[in-house]
């Protein structure tokens, strides 16, 4: 009997070690309230996810003990863990609390300045050339680098044309980053900008004025898949030989440049 119990425990332990699927919840350290749509993933690897509306997530860490897990969301200080340590102390990490990142908006003073409006980026509305999400993997992100004409530039509105049909309502996040070595670097906005795309929509328009986003140089703008939905991604209008598509497969994965067609993302701006 003891032998059979030992065998059963051995099999259970082996299966658990093999799966290494971890469930957890992310909360606001100040309010103790769950944080929705937090990025959870292995740094630099295509293994990641996004917490749900209740702050809950599930991720497989099989074979990644030497890598690091990063938990982050705009407006909060990220946390990183060596996965070997995270796995050993899993009981202590089932609930992760993130501290608010109280950055101040950079003050820009302009005197006797006549503002000029301009549309920056790719304005194509093509239905024949397209680029978009390659899967419904949470954290899948796609975007393009946009150049400015003069600093400072204030971002007023984001626009994108949808190619094809949206078969189900989806939840996205609009992100803006600085650019370093030709790839996205640090977030520019101070809070998440959520975008709801409904079945049948042909374009996306987001008012950016409430977010007070000011850029001093070229920047990267992207849309991120943050909530499970039916169907297979969304495709956007694109054009050949424009700014290359840059994407990452999931949360915390590395950025990659793809193909020769640029996605039709643009912003209305003032400078």
What integer is the mean pLDDT of 17-36?
A: 88
Look at residue 256 in the predicted model and tell me its pLDDT: 95
Could you read off the pLDDT of 62-82 as tens digits, one per residue? 999 999 999 999 999 999 999
Q: Is 42 exposed, middle or buried (0-12, 13-18, 19+ CB in 10 A)?
A: buried
Mean pLDDT of 12-41: 82
pTM over 0.85: yes
Q: Which helix (H) or strand (E) holds 235?
A: strand 235-240
pLDDT at 64: 94
pLDDT top residue among 168 and 1: 168
Task: Identify each DSSP E strand in 147-234 by its residue range.
Answer: 153-161, 170-180, 183-187, 193-197, 203-207, 214-215, 219-225
Q: Which domains, ranges and CATH numbers included, belong to the chain?
A: 2-98 (2.60.40.1120), 117-270 (2.60.120)
Instruction: State how far the Cα of 42 lies from the Cα of 69, in Å rounded to an integer.
Output: 4
Give the pLDDT of residue 89. Answer: 87
Which range among 107-116, 156-165, 173-182, 204-213 shows the weakest confidence by mean pLDDT?
107-116
CB atoms within 10 A of CB 20: 16
Looking at residue 2, its pLDDT comes to 44
Place 3 in a pLDDT band, splitting at 50, 70 and 90.
very low
CB 70 within 8 A of CB 252: yes
**pLDDT at 203 > cutoff 70:** yes
pLDDT value of residue 97: 97
pLDDT at residue 111, rounded to an integer: 61
Average pLDDT, the chain: 89
| Tens-place pLDDT, residues 232-249 | 678 999 998 778 899 999
Please report the pLDDT score of residue 194 as a whole number: 97
Q: Is residue 35 predicted with pLDDT exceeding 50?
A: yes
Contact between 45 and 256 (Cβ < 8 Å): no
* Contact partners, residue 4, CB within 8 Å, separation at least 6: none
Q: Is the pLDDT of residue 153 over 70?
A: yes
Specify the higher pLDDT residue, 28 or 110.
Answer: 28
Question: What share of the chain in percent tops pLDDT 90?
Answer: 73
Instruction: State yes or no: pLDDT of 5 exceeds 90.
Output: no
CB atoms within 10 A of CB 170: 24
| pLDDT value of residue 105 | 58
């Amino acid at each position: 009997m003891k032998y059979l119990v030992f065998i059963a425990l051995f099999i259970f332990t082996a299966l658990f070690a093999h799966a290494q699927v971890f469930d957890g919840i992310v909360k606001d350290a100040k309010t103790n309230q769950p944080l929705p749509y937090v990025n959870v993933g292995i740094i630099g690897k295509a293994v990641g996810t996004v917490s749900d509306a209740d702050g809950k997530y599930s991720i497989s860490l099989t074979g990644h003990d030497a890598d690091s897990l990063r938990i982050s969301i705009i407006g909060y200080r990220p946390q990183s863990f060596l996965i070997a340590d995270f796995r050993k102390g899993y009981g202590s990490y089932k609930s992760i609390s993130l501290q608010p990142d109280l950055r101040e908006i950079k003050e820009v003073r302009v005197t006797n300045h006549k503002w000029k409006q301009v549309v920056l980026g790719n304005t194509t509305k093509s239905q024949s050339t397209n680029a978009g999400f390659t899967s419904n993997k949470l954290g899948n992100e796609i975007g393009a680098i946009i150049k400015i004409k003069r600093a400072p530039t204030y971002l007023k509105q984001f626009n994108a044309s949808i190619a094809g049909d949206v078969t189900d309502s989806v939840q996205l996040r609009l992100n803006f980053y600085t650019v370093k070595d030709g790839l996205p670097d640090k977030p520019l906005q101070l809070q998440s900008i959520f975008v709801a795309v409904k079945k049948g929509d042909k374009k996306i328009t987001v008012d950016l004025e409430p977010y007070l986003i000011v850029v001093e140089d070229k920047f990267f703008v992207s849309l991120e898949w943050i909530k499970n939905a039916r169907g297979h991604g969304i495709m956007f209008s694109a054009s050949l030989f424009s700014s290359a598509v840059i994407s990452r497969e999931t949360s915390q994965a590395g950025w990659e440049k793809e193909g020769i067609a640029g996605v039709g993302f643009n912003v209305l701006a003032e400078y």
